[in-house]
Chain A
Amino acid sequence: MLFGFLVLLVCQFCGEIIVRYLDLPFPSPVVGMVILLAGLIMHGEVPKGIRQASEGLLSYLALLFVPAGVGLMVHYQLIAADGLTILTALILSTAITLLVTGVILDRLAKNKITQEQ
């Protein structure tokens, strides 16, 4: 468990170094995720400790978003001014995005499966 947590941190750390060194536009944890995935593919299976640590963290994923979200309180003036626009844009755009992505992937995936059969 502790070893697993260390592996996650080391992957994030390596991600951090790569992002800094290559001046990449994306955050280090995502690069860390790619590193861990590559490591797991090479190793061929997930060591028990890493699985335990990961499942522990992922089961509380929602809680981890709370501190950043409370930051909304800093922007109450802008939210008050553009509130309706923001809410409309969020709802409509999310619906359209779900629709387009879902339909495209569903069609493409079905085609692919029929092709292979």
Chain B
Amino acid sequence: MDELNTLWVYLSASPLLSIMVTIIGFLIASHINRMAGGSAFLHPVIVAIALIVAFLTLVGTSYEQYFEGAQFIHFLLGPATVALAIPLFDHLERVKQMFWPLIIACISGIFTAALSTIAIVIAMGGSRETVLSLTPKSVTSPIAMGIAEKIGGYPSLTAGLVLVTGAIGCVIGPIMFRWLKIEDHSVQGFTMGLAAHGFGTAQSFTVSSIAGAFAGLAMGLTGMLSAFILPLLVRFLGI
């Protein structure tokens, strides 16, 4: 028993366990999602997070300890973001053609997302920290965390809520497009990337490569513009 204990102490300190737990959690979550007929309600990322949180709580591992190892997976988010340049390049002609509509839609979307969030949270009596952590919810997590820090929210709470937003967007988006009769894949992709960042982008790539490219563009553009707009907006509103 003592030996087993020593082994556990050793293993939980090595990144191996966290990485394995992350991948196993994701594989199980993907399997559950497939069994549920690919329903966005059971988004693999959300299910994986729930499974991993349950597991860590059960074995008494803290988030810091887990992240120590899981950061190696987290790190790949950087190069993956850079890689979004490739689908963008592939559809450059279409992007050029729609340049101004995209910019106008992007700025309208950023203001809509931030103002509606702030209004709803304040109307329902949420705390100031909740308002500020939620404001950047439609922005891709690395940028959203930076914005939250800047305006006075909790970056790690923002990171999680950004993901929940993404999953919600994946559920509502397709229903909304059917209802509004929006059939253009570039419009669908851009809208998904703006409201649901990386999740919307990942889902759009399963629709078509042009939807994915526009979603990636929207995600990058929304992130960059939000980094400028949101801190100013929060200051202007005096929150």
A: residues with CB less than 8 A from B are 5, 8-9, 11-12, 15, 24-30, 32-34, 36-37, 40-41, 46, 50-51, 53-55, 57-58, 60-75, 78-79, 81-82, 84-86, 88-106, 108-109, 112
Contacts and interface: CB of A to CB of B under 8 A. Distances in A.
Nearest to A64: B77
A22 B33 CA distance: 44
Nearest to A89: B120
Given A12-B79, A58-B84, A66-B48, A88 B120 contact: yes
Name the prevailing secondary structure of the A interface residues.
helix
A72 B53 contact: yes
A75 B157 contact: yes
Interface of B: 18, 22-23, 25-26, 44-46, 48-49, 52-53, 56-57, 63, 66-67, 70-71, 73-74, 76-90, 92, 97-98, 100-102, 104-106, 108-109, 112-113, 116-117, 120-121, 124-127, 129-130, 134, 137-138, 141-143, 145-147, 150, 154, 156-157, 159-161, 163-166, 168-169, 172-173, 176-177, 180, 182, 184, 186-188, 190-192, 194-196, 198-199, 201-202, 205, 220, 223-224, 227-228, 231
A112 B4 CA distance: 68
Contacts of A11: 82, 85
Contacts of B84: 33, 58
Greatest chain B CB density within 10 A among A28, A41, A64 is at A64
Given A26-B223, A89-B121, A67 B130 contact: no
Given A41-B89, A101-B194, A58 B76 contact: no
Contact of A86 (B98, B134, B173, B192): B134
Contacts of B18: 67
Contacts of A100: 108-109, 112
Greatest chain A CB density within 10 A among B18, B26, B79, B186 is at B79
A94 to B, nearest CB: 5
Contacts of B78: 12, 28-29, 32
B63 A73 contact: yes
Given A90-B165, A109-B101, A68 B160 contact: yes
Given A30-B81, A34-B85, A101-B108, 12 more contacts: A27-B223, A28-B78, A40-B86, A53-B79, A54-B85, A66-B22, A68-B160, A70-B70, A73-B56, A100-B109, A103-B182, A112-B101
Contacts of B73: 63-64, 66-67
B81 A101 contact: no
Contacts of A105: 101-102, 105, 187, 190-191
B141 to A, nearest CB: 6
19 contacts: A27-B146, A30-B224, A37-B88, A41-B89, A63-B73, A64-B80, A66-B26, A66-B45, A66-B48, A70-B56, A72-B53, A78-B157, A85-B126, A93-B120, A94-B172, A97-B109, A97-B116, A101-B109, A109-B186
